[in-house]
Chains A and B, each alone.
Chain A
């Protein structure tokens, strides 16, 4: 902590869309108060001044997809007392991890004329390389959860970040259950968004990643019994969390079962 006594904040960007960083700037009502309560020391998207570490809290946005990013995430860990995953890319691989289903060369050649200058590696969550102290879920993060975490850090209280199933939140809001008609990932997805999509007539797409303690393999089998093809199930479970460990296990279990039949 600096002489000012304010904790020093850093925001790092890896492979991402910058939407989660924008969510920090989207707390318009409180942005100037936050900037008074903490020292925003490193946040290139917002400021040209990039003060060197160490920092008290570091937020990492994005999946790790290149050797340079592996170095940067390791450096971030060394520079920060607390390191927080900012959104589902950093937490679970997010949308960038959708490419992991393909051979790297195949996806490169579909986009670039000179793939030899690229050095992209399989998209991994931050925790694949370094230890994390907290995770803010979502694609994008919920601004309230960012505030909850910063406030918690400022007053020394454990932030309330739900990791139970979205269905609980959805039922409490008395939304109509969409699981019967659609491929809804609510049962296995972590709450915290207020069941936004089901409230607006869309099934849950799983952007907050798997809830704690859910049986992903069992859920995958249930979807198969409902008649969904394995490729569809894989695409859906992997849309925002392809690199979450339970997803790979669930898909492997499904494949073995098919092979046994």
Chain B
């Protein structure tokens, strides 16, 4: 690979191009551009040492498995390897030959945290391939399913995975031992349960929902259960605000790289979830069918995650922060007012501000699920009519190709399938939010670590983990990720 290609962000995939597409020298060059850095004051000052190796062997409180290896020589960052060692499960391989009807159910198992997102994206892609159109009722039920998923996933991340770092506990369970924190933990768990129950109300169960199929739903949500959920949602207002205010008390580190490209769906009328056009902070525009013309993947050994790049440019950053940065004006007024009340401004280029975006999306998800639930309940005055509108049509297998882009809790999700004449999968292409983000995480870490070198190895490791966790990575999705190892010389 020559340097020009590397500059252009185009790695050669030809055999013999070497198994180390990122040469250390080029990596070092990237480190020269100093980012705007204001990390919080280090508590543990570390005297300059000749050689240090900091490693996180197995990153905790993320979904899936990854490690980080940091080598520091003469107080300079020499090497930084983010290694996704999550064992690959070869979904794109074993889907080949399966009937299209098996696909949504199987791809759900890519991720236990966002199964509905994978299902809904696969359904949309397959429906394009098969020429199936869905009713407005199906569209709204799918939006509710996806919003409930975002709700659940964000509460899980903010409260159980991220907050312990900021409040200095190993996990939420230790937080709950403290009398002053226990009520907040109980509120968060109550929210999480509510979001799970909403998912199950539409999808049949919270993890790996079962009712969403090609063209519709196999059953209509129960009206009585829905009315009980409406009461619980109304009663959850304070829980949402307590969580939001707790996030507002956090002192966030800061990492802003001016060159970062935020990518998210943008929709004309609504905050994007299942539909929209791909846009970026640097002018990228694409639809599902043209996604591959703008985003490419490279397999960077030894990682088991495929890394995504904007063609002709560099890495991309997807997720709640990207969504909020690109869709601020499509948020309900209540959410924008809440941000103002918390003193938060968007767009925000700070990677660590993702937790604020997530907290605001919890408020959004709460509002949106109330709105959608009310609408669904209004139809359920005549359940048999709804049943007709959501009943899956008989679909004959046929040849075709279809792609779909959605916003999963962790960001942009792409699925594309090509089917043969019997409707069996000929090829499958799936790019998860974490796969979109993993190369950008590496860039962020390379920019962040040089400012941390005077801290202890433990503090460097924790800060690196917090940075990676701020992406809410899902390495099961991307290994198709984290231990941190810091090596000081």
A48 touches B88 (CB 8 A): no
B44 on the interface (CB 8 Å rule)? no
Chain A min CB distance to B179 (Å) = 13
Q: A17-B112, A45-B63, A139-B208 are in contact. Are A108 and B93 (CB under 8 A)?
A: yes
Report the bound CA distance from A140 to B211 in whole Å: 15
Q: Which residue of B lies closest to A240 (CB)?
A: B109
Chain A min CB distance to B112 (Å) = 2
A95 touches B207 (CB 8 A): no
Question: Which B residues lie within 8 Å of A107 (CB)?
Answer: 90, 93-94
B476 touches A16 (CB 8 A): yes
B28 on the interface (CB 8 Å rule)? no
Q: A13-B65, A22-B112, A239-B102 are in contact. Are A65 and B89 (CB under 8 A)?
A: yes
A19 touches B299 (CB 8 A): no
Q: Which of B1-27 contact A (CB under 8 A)?
A: 13, 19
B172 on the interface (CB 8 Å rule)? yes
Report the bound CA distance from A101 to B94 in whole Å: 8
Chain B min CB distance to A219 (Å) = 19
Question: Which B residues lie within 8 Å of A123 (CB)?
Answer: 89
Q: A26-B206, A46-B61, A201-B211 are in contact. Are A32 and B173 (CB under 8 A)?
A: yes
Question: How many interface contacts (CB-CB < 8 Å) are there between A and B?
Answer: 191
B204 touches A200 (CB 8 A): yes
A23 on the interface (CB 8 Å rule)? yes
Report the bound CA distance from A239 to B101 in whole Å: 13
Q: A13-B65, A98-B94 are in contact. Are A32 and B208 (CB under 8 A)?
A: no
Report the bound CA distance from A25 to B192 in whole Å: 10
Report the bound CA distance from A62 to B192 in whole Å: 24
Report the bound CA distance from A46 to B210 in whole Å: 26
A223 on the interface (CB 8 Å rule)? no
B160 touches A110 (CB 8 A): no
What 0/1 pattern do residues 26 to 55 of A give for CB contact below 8 A with B?
101101100100001001111111100000
A128 on the interface (CB 8 Å rule)? no
Report the bound CA distance from A112 to B213 in whole Å: 29
What 0/1 pattern do residues 113 to 126 of A give for CB contact below 8 A with B?
11011101001000
Question: Which B residues lie within 8 Å of A48 (CB)?
Answer: 60-61, 164-165, 170-171, 465
B207 touches A44 (CB 8 A): no
A196 on the interface (CB 8 Å rule)? yes
Report the bound CA distance from A197 to B13 in whole Å: 44
Q: Which residue of B lies closest to A96 (CB)?
A: B89
B109 touches A99 (CB 8 A): no
Question: Which B residues lie within 8 Å of A112 (CB)?
Answer: 88, 299, 306
B89 touches A22 (CB 8 A): no
Question: Which B residues lie within 8 Å of A101 (CB)?
Answer: 94
- Which single member of B87, B105, B205 contacts A65 (CB below 8 Å)? B87
Chain A min CB distance to B198 (Å) = 13
B45 on the interface (CB 8 Å rule)? no
- Which single member of B94, B160, B208 contacts A46 (CB below 8 Å)? B160
A117 touches B93 (CB 8 A): no
Question: Which A residues lie within 8 Å of B480 (CB)?
Answer: 111
- Which single member of B111, B172, B210, B299 contacts A113 (CB below 8 Å)? B299
Q: Which residue of B lies closest to A44 (CB)?
A: B60
A197 touches B302 (CB 8 A): no
Q: A46-B160, A114-B301, A117-B19 are in contact. Are A200 and B92 (CB under 8 A)?
A: no
Report the bound CA distance from A19 to B474 in whole Å: 12
Stretch at the interface among B73-81, B183-191, B230-238, B449-457: B183-191
- Which single member of A28, A106, A205 contacts B189 (CB below 8 Å)? A28
Q: A95-B89, A139-B208 are in contact. Are A44 and B61 (CB under 8 A)?
A: yes
A45 touches B88 (CB 8 A): no
What 0/1 pattern do residues 193 to 236 of A give for CB contact below 8 A with B?
00011001110010100000000000000000000000110010
Q: Which of B112-154 contact A (CB under 8 A)?
A: 112-113, 115
Report the bound CA distance from A114 to B110 in whole Å: 21
Q: Which residue of A lies closest to B156 (CB)?
A: A25
Q: Which residue of B lies closest to A27 (CB)?
A: B193
Q: Which of B413-441 contact A (CB under 8 A)?
A: 427
Question: Which B residues lie within 8 Å of A29 (CB)?
Answer: 189, 193
B106 on the interface (CB 8 Å rule)? yes
A102 touches B164 (CB 8 A): no
B476 touches A17 (CB 8 A): yes
Report the bound CA distance from A68 to B93 in whole Å: 22
Question: Which B residues lie within 8 Å of A21 (CB)?
Answer: 112
- Which single member of B88, B109, B164 contacts A17 (CB below 8 Å)? B109
B98 on the interface (CB 8 Å rule)? yes
A249 on the interface (CB 8 Å rule)? no
Question: Which A residues lie within 8 Å of B182 (CB)?
Answer: 32
A49 touches B298 (CB 8 A): no
Chain B min CB distance to A146 (Å) = 12
* New A-B pairs, 17, CB < 8 Å, besides A19-B112, A25-B156: A19-B115, A20-B112, A40-B171, A46-B61, A48-B170, A99-B93, A102-B93, A108-B88, A110-B92, A111-B88, A111-B92, A112-B306, A113-B298, A113-B299, A120-B87, A196-B205, A202-B210
Q: What are 16 A-B residue pairs whose CB atoms fall within 8 Å in the complex? A: A19-B112, A25-B156, A28-B192, A31-B173, A32-B186, A68-B85, A69-B87, A107-B93, A110-B90, A111-B91, A120-B90, A139-B208, A197-B210, A200-B204, A200-B211, A200-B218
